[in-house]
Structure 1
Amino acid sequence: MSDQQALPTEYRPCVGVMLVNRDGHAFVGQRIDNREGDFWQMPQGGVDKGEDLEAAALRELEEETGVSASMVTILQQTVNPIRYDLPEELIGKLWKGKYCGQEQVWFLMRFDGSDDDVDLEAHDPAEFCAFKWVKPAALEDLIVPFKKRVYRSVVAEFSALV
């Protein structure tokens, strides 16, 4: 990015889902576009203009995992949005260069289905190539480094209900 080009200062509105199974383990998917690193993430995505946050979370969950609203129970939403900044090398490359990071509202959802209900190819293009269930304490170690603080915050806020 040239020195003369203005850096974005706006945060992309986003939702995230901490989906937990009956064992209290959280769903993580391995991103198709980042196979070179052993990074896994919880479902998340942008909020469309005028879209209700809960509806956006359920939409993103179904698009990324094939898990529909009928298979989950929403337990909690973060009290405040959580922001993160993109690392310098990604600014201007993601989201058409419009955002400097994301402002996320997270939802804790209990998964009432089985692994057979997960369909990573439910949406074209798929975002994940694999999934697994992990203890919430392990989430921070699986995510890309610039999102670690977000995952710490989400796990801390939802820990009493997991």
Structure 2
Amino acid sequence: MIDADGFRPNVGIIIANAEGQLLWARRVGQNAWQFPQGGIKASETPHQALFRELHEEIGLTANDVDIVACTRGWLRYRLPRRMIRTHARPVCIGQKQKWFLLQIRCQESQICMTATPKPEFDGWRWVSYWYPLGQVVPFKREVYRRALRELSPRLQRIALEGNSSRIESSGGGYSSDVSASDASSRSGEP
């Protein structure tokens, strides 16, 4: 589904743990990292798409998370010219996204990147709140900045609650040369 302006409606998913760190996912077979996201079908509301995508990409259900906040309006980004499929009809020039900030309520061992036959991600890790801005592909960076800025006041609620009732951690994230703690220390608010 593409709107009259050429933008595909989409949901962006930011999952926070009790410490206020965010789930950062690695695309299958690439060294490209991003937040989970996915298109909204014609028959879906943004909330329905959120929970479908959450299950397809991360293996979690509505019972595993709390919705903390959602961006007020649509945030748009344009695709680079080389990525626009001009032969397709209608032509998609970018995405318009509703972003959701979720708090994980289950054990992180329940995160499963292979919940569907064709997974989009093959690894994940926890990173500091602002870390993704320095890592995401440039054409998505401004949307990430706007979403994170709008949702950041609500993260304080997660961090405060996390200090009083920690979620037990069982490990299981993607391991790489750059640990989440290293990532956390190198990135501050823009």
Shorter-chain-normalised TM-score: which range? 0.7 to 0.9
When normalised by structure 1's length, the TM-score is: 0.88
What is the match of residue 118 of structure 1? 111
- Point out which structure has higher relative CO (alpha carbons under 8 A, 6+ apart): 1
CA-based RMSD of the aligned residues comes to 1.9
Q: Report the alpha carbon displacement of residue 75 of structure 1 after superposing the two structures with TM.
A: 0.9
Q: Distance in 2 between matches of 1:13 and 1:53?
A: 9
Contact 2:6 2:90 in 1 (8 A): no
What is the match of residue 20 of structure 1? 16
What is the match of residue 85 of structure 1? 78
Q: Report the alpha carbon displacement of residue 40 of structure 1 after superposing the two structures with TM.
A: 0.8
What is the match of residue 4 of structure 1? none
Identical-residue share of aligned pairs (%): 33
What is the match of residue 184 of structure 2? none
**What is the CA deviation profile of residues 110-148 of structure 1, one whole-angstrom value per residue up to 9, with x for unaligned ones?**
001122100100012000011011111101112111100
Query: What SS does structure 1 have at the residue aligned with 2:15?
Result: strand
Q: Distance in 2 between matches of 1:96 and 1:90?
A: 15
When normalised by structure 2's length, the TM-score is: 0.75
Q: Report the alpha carbon displacement of residue 50 of structure 1 after superposing the two structures with TM.
A: 2.5
What is the match of residue 53 of structure 1? 46
Q: Report the alpha carbon displacement of residue 28 of structure 1 after superposing the two structures with TM.
A: 1.3
Q: Distance in 2 between matches of 1:145 and 1:158?
A: 20
Q: Distance in 2 between matches of 1:94 and 1:124?
A: 28
For structure 2, the 5+ residue unaligned runs are 156-190
Q: How does 1:1-20 map to 2 (within 5 A)?
A: 9-20=5-16
For structure 1, the 5+ residue unaligned runs are 1-7
Contact 1:91 1:97 in 2 (8 A): no
Q: Distance in 2 between matches of 1:54 and 1:76?
A: 12
Look up the equivalent residue of 2:26 and give its one-letter code.
Q
More strand by share: 1
Look up the equivalent residue of 1:115 and give its one-letter code.
E
Contact 1:44 1:60 in 2 (8 A): yes
Greater mean deviation of Cα atoms: 92-101 or 119-128? 92-101
Q: Report the alpha carbon displacement of residue 85 of structure 1 after superposing the two structures with TM.
A: 0.1
What is the match of residue 151 of structure 1? 144
What is the match of residue 42 of structure 1? 35
Aligned in 2, Cα 1:69/1:46: closer, same or farther, shift over 3 Å? same
